[in-house]
Amino acid sequence: MQKIANEIHEATSALTINRSPPDKNHASHPPAILDLCMAPGGFAQVALTLNPTASLRGVTLPESSSRHKILVPNWEKDPRIQMLHCDITMLAAEMGVDLVDIPTNHPDASGFLSSRPFHNQEFDLVFCDGVVLRTQDRHEYRDKQFEVPRLTTSQLVLALQRIRDGGTLIMLMHRANSWQTVSILHALNSFASIRLFKPTLGHKTRSSFYLVAQNVRPRSAAAVKAVQKWKKQWKAATFRDGPGESKDGEALGDASKEEVVAALDEFGPKLINLAEPVFKLHVEGLSHASFMHANSNKSKFMTNWRGREAGSDVGLGPKQEPKLERDLNLERGPKPMQETKWSRVSKPERESKSEREPKPEQETKWDRGSKFDSNWRVRKI
């Protein structure tokens, strides 16, 4: 993560806090950094190196839930750093929901929090680098389809209700061509200067990229409107099965055709300019990825499936091929299981089959006893 943070900074200079023009209202406050979903802390460590006088506040899941440790050296003894361990998607009060209004039959009724981490502080630089973790234990209603918008909206609301006027927001995003991403970029573009950056490390073959929003104006009417929209979306994704439930489309951030057309008319040309470098790098990464080359996959496939019984993983050996690559290989070329079965049929077994199910036309040819007919007989069965 440190390498990715350095790469982003080299391209955008976004990790250096520079109050220009000087903020007279906050002249007595040192630069401040907020890292949401901080663990393992690579971005925070680079930001502190670039801004040694800055304070850092971090929010992250407990290690027991995330299995990610904070790797910032001596962070527990560093007076600049203060950490809070909690699930930011459960901060009901932050999203405008009173705990007494939560249905008692909700699966997480006792898990919502009334706390508002660092709500009385303002930050010059905010990181939103969270992802939905498979290692976290969650109730069924929090499947990935709905947990992604819950996490995204939680990060955006916390960030915009704490970022200083003129501050910088850096956020991990995915699929620049999806409506959910486009709608967020469109909203942020109305109250910040935004750009997109795709690191070459760890992201070239993925749909992920980073949003860098600078000169954020969190008190503008557009920002206030966006925050209210994201709070509403969080509520829809969290309480969709309770009283006053919302449609899944609202929880997932869907929009009408008219809304999409209007957004593209207004934001479409800029979106193309922003996203084109991201897609070009993605195409380049995929063109050199080993799993995109059929010949390479075929050799791996044949090696891994050698000696494998039908419907079994036995015989794969220690170097097992990832499931995704096996699935891709299965979609290409002839089905290897058929080839394996044919090669394992013994001659006596084939002859017994022919004796059980003879065909009159073929039997006439077999009686001729020619070499050609004998070979044909073996192949046909």
Whether residues 163 and 131 fall in one domain: yes
- Give every CB contact of residue 180 below 8 A, 6+ residues apart in sequence: 149, 152, 252, 253
Residue 359: pLDDT over 50: yes
Beta strands in the chain (DSSP E): 32-36, 55-60, 81-85, 123-128, 163-174, 193-197, 208-216
pLDDT in tens, 25-43: 555 678 999 999 998 999 9
**Bridge partners, 209 (sequence order):** 173
- Our measurement of the distance from residue 119's CA atom to the centroid of its chain's CA atoms, rounded to an integer in Å, reads 27
pLDDT in tens, 107-157: 899 999 999 999 999 999 999 998 876 665 666 666 667 889 999 999 999
Whether residues 351 and 340 fall in one domain: no
Residue 10: name the closest of 50, 54, 55 by CA. 50
Residue 72: name the closest of 41, 43, 102, 27 by CA. 41
Whether residues 352 and 329 fall in one domain: no
The pTM of the whole model exceeds 0.85:
no
Whether residues 374 and 245 fall in one domain: no
pLDDT confidence of residue 326? 47
Of all residues in the chain, the percent with pLDDT exceeding 70 is 67
Whether residues 306 and 258 fall in one domain: no
**Bridge partners, 56 (sequence order):** 33, 81
Whether residues 311 and 239 fall in one domain: no
Question: CB–CB of 277/196 below 8 Å?
Answer: yes
Q: What is the CATH number of the domain that holds 142?
A: 3.40.50.12760
**Rounded CA separation 37/30 (Å):** 23
Whether residues 184 and 230 fall in one domain: yes
Whether residues 196 and 333 fall in one domain: no
pLDDT in tens, 54-89: 999 999 988 876 567 888 988 999 999 999 999 999
DSSP three-state, residue 201: coil
Question: CB–CB of 76/50 below 8 Å?
Answer: no
**Bridge partners, 126 (sequence order):** 34, 169
pLDDT in tens, 303-333: 444 444 344 443 344 444 444 444 444 444 4
pLDDT in tens, 45-55: 999 999 999 99
Residue of higher predicted confidence among 289 and 95:
95
Q: Which amino acid is at 247?
A: K
Structure tokens at 298: 């075929």
Sign of dihedral through CA atoms 224, 187, 5, 137?
A: positive
- Our measurement of the distance from residue 172's CA atom to the centroid of its chain's CA atoms, rounded to an integer in Å, reads 8
pLDDT confidence of residue 20? 62
**Rounded CA separation 222/94 (Å):** 19
Sign of dihedral through CA atoms 81, 82, 85, 86?
A: negative
Residue 280: pLDDT over 80: yes
**Bridge partners, 85 (sequence order):** 60
DSSP three-state, residue 173: strand
Whether residues 214 and 233 fall in one domain: yes
The average confidence (pLDDT) of the chain is: 79
Structure tokens at 245: 């439930």
Residue 52: name the closest of 31, 38, 72 by CA. 31
What total of structural domains would you count in the chain? 3
**Rounded CA separation 257/265 (Å):** 12
**Rounded CA separation 230/157 (Å):** 7
Whether residues 278 and 361 fall in one domain: no
Question: CB–CB of 1/35 below 8 Å?
Answer: no
Q: 10 Å Cβ neighbour count for 157?
A: 23
Q: Tell me what the mean pLDDT of segment 207-219 comes to.
A: 97
- Supply the Cα-derived Rg of the chain in whole angstroms: 29
Instruction: Write the burial class of residue 287 (CB in 10 Å: 0-12 exposed, 13-18 middle, 19+ buried).
Output: exposed
Place of tokens 């699929």: 175
Whether residues 103 and 197 fall in one domain: yes
Whether residues 250 and 340 fall in one domain: no
**Rounded CA separation 381/376 (Å):** 9
Structure tokens at 128: 């939103």
Q: Which domain holds residue 6?
A: 2-286
pLDDT confidence of residue 144? 63
Q: Within 13 Å of residue 4, how many CA atoms lie on the same side as its CB? A: 20
